[in-house]
Amino acid sequence: MSGKNKDYRFTIANREALIGIALAVINFVWWYGFAYGLGSKSPENYHFVLGLPAWFFYSCVVGFILIVALVIVVVKFFFVDVPFEEEKDRGNES
């Protein structure tokens, strides 16, 4: 498709796909940073939060809550409804 005939839905889909990839990267960086940052100590030196090692609590529990909240915000404010049906050229209808 040339740039002139490109369907606007592809632009929206590409933008939303990039947002989804960004959320996945944020999730991985959060998880990796806390899991390997705090979890690299000896288990005898772990701090505990609600009975869980701090690295696990922050990487998995808090990370999950954070990502769920981010996904809700992104879907509510940045994603748009796009029709799946092909639009017909109104000028050529009989």
- Quote the DSSP letter at residue 60: I
At 45-85, the pLDDT tens digits run 888 999 999 899 999 999 999 999 999 999 999 999 988 88
Pairing of strands 48-49, 52-53: antiparallel
User: Residue 65 has what pLDDT?
Assistant: 97
At 2-36, the pLDDT tens digits run 556 688 889 999 999 999 999 999 999 999 998 88
Whether the Cβ atoms of residue 63 and residue 29 lie closer than 8 Å to each other: no
Break the chain into its structural domains and give their ranges.
Answer: 26-80
